Structure 1
């Protein structure tokens, strides 16, 4: 038991390495990438601290070179899901009883391991498996993950320090207990940091976790487990499984000890899981906590007063960084007629300089989409736009899957504000632009708000403060993360807590104290020093 009130190290955002041409850091990372790319990795599930292998091995192919195999991961069945649940529950008592400082030390060590000896390895794994270039890998699998770990420790201590007032003769205390049972983390392919944060933030608050990462993120998931093991995370606290999603959800969500779901993925899957939880509500020991972030159809709206070069740059970065596969990616834009020609020309000039290709070449700004399904989906939107009467491809439109799943930066211009690509989530490097009449500013704000069921991110560009304020109010519920004169991507832990509402999720704000509060159950304790000895109150005389 602790005999001190400990202060954790002050959390600061991890500096981003530039990976400038010729720098030592880019040479080190690319050398690590090449070595890992040439090796063959064998990735087991991890259940109760043990590596679990099966006869069902799945090959891992980099999206930018789909004929190359970098290794395999072991695919499990429902017996492994059951084993993971049992391992988590077996670890629960000892993990719950461990002092919070000891838990903090584990995850602070994990952050330092990623910042130091594991930085190249986790970035290279993300580059290989998820086709992120050096910069996108650095801001994700290194910096954002480090920030999650360090800031979450700070948020945890803030939560524990929040205590009630006490009247004379009593001492009131709040205790923040872990949830009763086990938690379930379901994570996506597109951010290594999210994949690590969802199970680790629950574990940090004293919970035990069954973690199902995306099959497309298996390589970096393996590195995450390596880091947690070296940091001293006890066996069974986080159990990593690769199993069928629908079957796993049905089994996990039917368990009476299920206590919480932390999810990032599609709206349809999340809603299906929520329904399962509702159907099983009578089976649970406690009402489960449900936290989800489920994507978006993120907007940029420009006012006639907007700086055209700034708008163009925000659209190019916001729409095409990581091939538009960020939940926050700019995928629909509303540009006034008076500035569209300038914005379009600036975008054409910038996009003409963008290189597309393998992540091994750091000068490639755009890399491959995640798999063939994504490639075909993007190609379908482009092909239909090229044949449409109310839309046209005005920039890009090239697709090439001969080596990797490459979709080139594409702009679709539509005269129909409800055209399919301006309403539907695509998750690729495709931006759809609707050009509106300058006099229709207020009406276009209403259109932006009403067009999509999502409400994750969005931004407004204007030099007119009245216009900014009008957009700020009109779009109050259209984006959980709202940007003024900036692209709608790039939220930083501790600076812009991330999450949206409507069909984008529960808006529990990853990267903030709000999220961690979902993974504890408070107990109020009142201690009376001198108890009453007679039931009579003064009013009784």
Structure 2
């Protein structure tokens, strides 16, 4: 771990880190003890005043150095992420590393243009100004599906704004966070970034409950979000929550079917469907439904799954045996419904690792579990709708509110639907596209707070009024 600028071994319970493609142990690490969590928060608290006092340009310089180091060691980072998560090496190297580097560089620039919203004389003889200042120590808890990218999304705006950070990565995927910590120990002042390893109920809970942690940022599931809120309420902490999704994909009858199938094949199954924005809940118009099911089934059946460095591999295994079992149970319960057809996939893959076949479920109804709950695996469902109003109503009939997409050749129809969808992001005639200049975050039970963009930088600051009497 990294505590107060020094790499140190944990003193707590041993954790086994697996390669999901083989089920073999990569290494064993010890989680942080309660004393080490205390030491990490204390280090961040000590470092805060000095880090916050730096000019935005100075903080930007540190972020740019981190970006350069990640880029220079991109191959090593990608290989480590690929092995620990099971994702294809090409995806980690070509898709994720460039986006991560860009995140650091974006916030290096954004730090220098964050400004107050107003200044002037609003009371005779007095001049007011608005400052946006950092909060203090931010406790960040990152998930296992995109470990290094989620680290970047969390620490870049926090550090750029002048906060210090204590990060706990998932106990299943800590390896790229550890590699980053080694770089941070060389680049950043001691205590500005601290890394503690461990399980959620022990180390994570200790970070969330600590009175000197002023804000908690979590990406995880709804149940974990509720626990964080309950704990944070005791010390009135700010919280920044991204709690999953069940992205609806509305396909109107006039949509470009080839583009729809190509899009869902890519964006419904990327990272083996272990993505909260995955295009997994498809609503198809009555005229396009049958052809969409047929062509999507054929396309998904051609997805190549396998180990990380196999030639042409597109998706890897699920993260764990437990996660694969969860996905399989969803499909089996759906298969037991008389109106549902599993048109391709739907089986656990024999052999080593935690592989599950890419799966299409047709004939799903709005009330079915497979439509309502997040599966978080390589499974998409297709539901037929009768009228546009029904599609919009069904899309909004969900506790989730993170991402959605609309597909139509009629831009007026698509824009009308997009304006009425209760989701933090709606794509039109595409899905899954993210850029650091635009915010990512949800509504409803998917949480609140934005990752990426100036909105994230604002989330990690507080607006303050300063008034001068003449």
**Do the structures match in fold with TM over 0.5?**
yes
Match of 1:376 in 2: 325
1:132-171 Cα deviation digits (max 9, x unpaired): 2234313554122112111112222111476624699876
1:409, distance to aligned residue in structure 2 (A): 0.8
| Structure 1 segment 308-319 matched on structure 2, within 5 A | 308-319=257-268
For residue 454 of structure 1, give the secondary structure of its aligned residue in structure 2. Answer: coil
| Structure 1 segment 92-107 matched on structure 2, within 5 A | 92-107=48-63
For residue 374 of structure 1, give the secondary structure of its aligned residue in structure 2. Answer: helix
The worse-fitting range, judged by mean Cα deviation, of 102-111 and 165-174 is 165-174
CA distance in 1, matches of 2:392, 2:340: 21
Match of 1:137 in 2: 92
CA contact (8 A) 2:142 2:218 kept: yes
Residues 401 and 161 of structure 1: is their aligned pair in 2 closer, same or farther, counting only changes over 3 Å? farther
CA distance in 2, matches of 1:321, 1:253: 31
CA distance in 2, matches of 1:189, 1:253: 18
Which one of 423, 442, 449 corresponds to residue 389 of structure 2? 442
CA distance in 1, matches of 2:208, 2:169: 17
Match of 1:125 in 2: 80
CA distance in 1, matches of 2:388, 2:94: 35
1:388, distance to aligned residue in structure 2 (A): 2.1
CA distance in 2, matches of 1:140, 1:172: 46
Which one of 504, 519, 522 corresponds to residue 446 of structure 2? 504
The worse-fitting range, judged by mean Cα deviation, of 170-179 and 327-336 is 170-179
Which one of 151, 154, 158 corresponds to residue 198 of structure 1? 154
CA distance in 1, matches of 2:177, 2:308: 19
Match of 1:464 in 2: 410
CA distance in 2, matches of 1:319, 1:297: 11
Residues 247 and 57 of structure 1: is their aligned pair in 2 closer, same or farther, counting only changes over 3 Å? closer
For residue 268 of structure 2, give the secondary structure of its aligned residue in structure 1. Answer: helix
Which one of 320, 323, 335 corresponds to residue 386 of structure 1? 335
CA distance in 1, matches of 2:183, 2:391: 48
1:323-374 Cα deviation digits (max 9, x unpaired): 0011100111011232223222322332233211001124101111111111
TM-score w.r.t. length of structure 1: 0.81
Gaps of 5+ in 1: 1-44, 282-287, 532-541
CA distance in 1, matches of 2:364, 2:275: 26
1:255, distance to aligned residue in structure 2 (A): 3.1
1:310, distance to aligned residue in structure 2 (A): 1.3
- The answer to whether the aligner puts 1:455 opposite 2:401 as a matched pair is yes
1:250, distance to aligned residue in structure 2 (A): 4.0
CA distance in 2, matches of 1:305, 1:229: 55
1:296, distance to aligned residue in structure 2 (A): 0.2
Residues 260 and 362 of structure 1: is their aligned pair in 2 closer, same or farther, counting only changes over 3 Å? farther
CA contact (8 A) 1:122 1:141 kept: no
For residue 365 of structure 1, give the secondary structure of its aligned residue in structure 2. Answer: coil
For residue 111 of structure 1, give the secondary structure of its aligned residue in structure 2. Answer: helix
Question: Aligned-residue CA RMSD in angstroms?
Answer: 2.2
Gaps of 5+ in 2: none
CA contact (8 A) 1:118 1:227 kept: no
1:527, distance to aligned residue in structure 2 (A): 4.5
TM-score w.r.t. length of structure 2: 0.93
1:214-250 Cα deviation digits (max 9, x unpaired): 11221111122123234x2111111111123123344
